[in-house]
Amino acid sequence: MVVYQLADLDFALSDLPTMPVADRMVMTSPDHFSIQYVINPHMAGNVGTVDTARARAEWDALKAAFESCGTAVEVVEGMPGQPDMVFCANQTLPYLLPDGTRGVVPSKMFAPQRAGEVQYFRDWFASRGWSVVDGIALGDIEFEGMGDALWHPGRRLLWGGHGFRTDSAVYHWISTWLQAPVIALELNDPDFYHLDTCLCVLNEETALIYPGAFEPEGLALIHRMFARVIEAPEDEARGLFACNAHSPDGRHVVIQRGCAATNAALREAGFTVIEVETDEYLKSGGSVFCMKLMTW
């Protein structure tokens, strides 16, 4: 079932089957990270500006922050010629079926510059015994993995962004294959080109959002399904990627340093905030969430 309109939403979270929360993480080493082209608004003016030593230090600190929360991190080595591979949320959508099957849906990247990343991750997961779905790679349907498709913690439900990098038609197929309803959210601002830039699902009850990135109906859907919705101010969401944060355990929130208003709201809601620097990656249009992939 795919939900496109508020009127179609005929279930509550409590009606959905439970699902184990992903508790393992994949990160991709930044050995070959650089900005060589412009495929989103944040990259404009930043080609060739990455400080590689600083980028490595930021990546190491981010990995340490996740590990401090008790999350096991497995590292995939970055590949030459793939400067954006470090943003490893985008190449696949990991899934866990009701029968326990672990698999990934490979992406079909919007930008041809990133197409080569997908095969590497397909092979990496297959070598570890994961099922790899082939159907999504056929035709012209674009889909960018967990950049746009976010599992709801603890429930068999996906949030699906579309409008810039992912074709909404893909969610009919994904919903059927993964045996999970998908709540589709249309994005309307090119600065927030992936769902993970404007919606951070912190735990089963709480979401962090930038409301200006959504159509009114999308906002209504979010408020309908989450008991608590925290809103990041525009300057922090747009300039510091406040909503590209991540909570690996539903209690800690790892977030770009400097999001003062957002962090205050998170602390008031009972979360422990862990600030990190992702300045070099912000130049490329990514931050905390983009740089990891949760698995089972």
- Catalytic residue numbers read 194, 290
HEC secondary structure over the chain: CEECCHHHCCCCHHHCCECCCCCEEEEECCCCCCCCCCCCHHHCCCCCCCCHHHHHHHHHHHHHHHHHCCCEEEEECCCCCCCCCCCCCCCEEEEECCCCCEEEEECECCCHHHHHHHHHHHHHHHCCCCEECCHHHCCCCCECHHHCEEECCCECCEEEEECCCCCCCHHHHHHHHHCCCEEEEEECCHHHCCHHHCEEECCCCEEEECHHHECHHHHHHHHHHCCEEEECCHHHHHHHCHHHCECCCCCEEEEECCCHHHHHHHHHCCCEEEEECCHHHHCCCCCCHHHCEEEC
